[in-house]
Amino acid sequence: MAVAQRLFAPRPTIVVVVLASLSLIVIDRAGANAPTGEFRAVVRDGFASMSDTAEWLWPFDSSQQVRDLEERNAELAGELEALRATSRQAVDTERQRNDLLALLALPTPADVDKVAAPVIAMDSTNFDSTIELGKGASDGIAENMPVVTAEGLVGRVIEVSESRSSVLLITDSTSNVGVRVGATGDVGVAVGTGSGEHLRIDLIEAESPVTDGDVVVTNGRQGSLFPPGLLVGSVASSRAAELDLRRDVTMVPSVDFQRLDNVMVLKWESP
Amino acid sequence: MIHLSSERWITPSSGSSRRLDWHGSRRLRVTAISIAAVVVQHGVMPDITIFGVHPDLLLLLSLVVAITGGADRGATAGFASGLATDVFLSTPLGLSALAYALAAYGTGVLAADADDLPWTVGGLAALGTAAGVSLYVMAASLLGGLDVSATRWLQVTVILVALNALLAPMLAPLLARAWRTRRPTPW
């Protein structure tokens, strides 16, 4: 009883802390121009500087030669990713050939400028699927730019500071990607489940002939944050739910998110 | 019984300037430990998973501060630690701060009565961890659009509870040393 009384007794510290937290939440939810975005960027850059300093001070890889080799290696890895990405486009070539006829006036992923960026950190928390890139606004990266590897779509940039950027993976539970499935081109939305293993595809009609193994690519419809034709993954299971107008469809992403070393940020702006 | 009272490390001193030094030094020590925890959490923990779960040093730190320093200090530490977590998350800033502050505050209140209860530091940390994780998931689901399955929630809670119950007794003496003061504190 005494514990309960003390727990709920108003004490200045907890009242101030709760009010401060709620104020921050309200301000941060105001949108992209919220002042908290600037605060995040400053802290991230500060942390990046600290990490860089620690890395520089660390005697085992601080020699200039090693650093030069690392930079060269990152550049080459980026170029390799670009080349692989180009060759992977052929997976969907047959269908894209027809689609592109209708999209001649629109830019395709191959036309878009790219920035190769190293993945410097994976998510450090348990309910968020994000990665940290070692490049930021100074390299031309901006919010909502798509991020890919040779294997396919990784996610989109959600936070940018001067030298770092944060990418929301497509497996995150808040991620939605407009997709097209299989040879029929059924349109749906790939929704992250937070598990890191599979995604759910919503809005596929019950009578759709979607089957296991069908290729899933971005649909790039108007307003989409992603260009059309980016490989997202393949269908893992598909069944028509009883008394439901939609199919239960799950997919596995084509990217292995545990083995991300370098990625490409597409300087794509939704038309 | 928990034998982590800062009285164990009380060192006699005299004079007001000496007292000010103690208070300044105490804050400095706790701040240093907190910064180290932030660096380790965001620099090392991303590479460490235990059954698919990253350890959460910042929540652990808030709870141990609450256990060794009291509810008010715990709430402040929870707010700061949560904020350091929020900066790297996609959910709104302040969600982890709110969850960690409330969990640490509650743990601090319970810790004040621990003499009358058969709980140890590990037990209190376990309870606080379950509260912290659950409060975060609920707040993030309501206000941040987070969609977490019950299985994942349970998985994270169980593993972090076990981990923090093990680690808290090791971290508590360090924090208790950092809090040492001239006068006895509740802990």
Between positions 163 and 202 of A, the ones with CB within 8 A of B are: 166, 168, 172-174, 193-195
Task: Tell me if chain B has a CB within 8 Å of the CB of A24.
Answer: yes
CA distance B21 to chain A (A): 24
The 10s digit of each residue's pLDDT in B132-170 is 999 999 998 888 778 888 888 999 999 999 999 999 988
Q: Is the dihedral of CA A253, A257, A261, A265 positive or negative?
A: positive
CA distance A250 to A197: 10
CA distance B102 to A266: 41
Q: Which residue has the higher pLDDT, B47 or A189?
A: A189
What number is the average pLDDT over the span B4-22?
44
Helices A12-28 and B95-112 meet at what angle, rounded to 10? 160
Q: Confidence class of residue B7 from pLDDT cuts 50, 70 and 90?
A: very low
Contacts of B102 in chain A (CB under 8 A): 14, 18
CA distance A63 to B139: 46
CA distance A104 to chain B (A): 36
Predicted local distance difference test score (pLDDT) of residue B12: 40
* Average pLDDT, rounded, for chain B: 80
CA distance A83 to A150: 8
Residue B3 has pLDDT above 60, yes or no: no
Find out whether B102 and B135 touch, Cβ atoms under 8 Å.
yes
Q: Is the dihedral of CA B24, B27, B31, B32 positive or negative?
A: positive
Residue B126 has pLDDT above 60, yes or no: yes
Predicted local distance difference test score (pLDDT) of residue A183: 74
Burial level of B130, CB count in 10 A (0-12/13-18/19+)?
middle
ipTM exceeding cut-off 0.90 for this assembly: no
Task: Tell me if chain B has a CB within 8 Å of the CB of A89.
Answer: no
Predicted local distance difference test score (pLDDT) of residue B187: 45
CA distance A65 to chain B (A): 24
Let me know how long chain B is: 187
Tell how strand A146-149 and strand A130-133 pair up.
unpaired
The 10s digit of each residue's pLDDT in B85-124 is 888 887 888 999 999 999 999 999 988 877 645 567 899 9
Q: How many CB pairs under 8 A join A and B?
A: 139
Q: With a cut of 50, which residues of chain A have pLDDT below it?
A: 62
Best residue of A127, A195, A199, A258 to probe chain B, by most B CBs closer than 10 Å:
A127
Predicted local distance difference test score (pLDDT) of residue A150: 84
Find out whether B68 and B179 touch, Cβ atoms under 8 Å.
yes
A127:B148 CB<8 A: yes
Beta-strand ranges (E) seen in chain A are: 114-122, 130-133, 146-149, 152-160, 165-169, 176-181, 186-192, 199-202, 215-218, 231-240, 247-253, 262-266
B76:A13 CB<8 A: yes
Predicted local distance difference test score (pLDDT) of residue A205: 84
Tell how strand A186-192 and strand A231-240 pair up.
unpaired
The 10s digit of each residue's pLDDT in A197-244 is 789 998 888 888 888 888 999 988 777 888 888 899 999 988 887 777
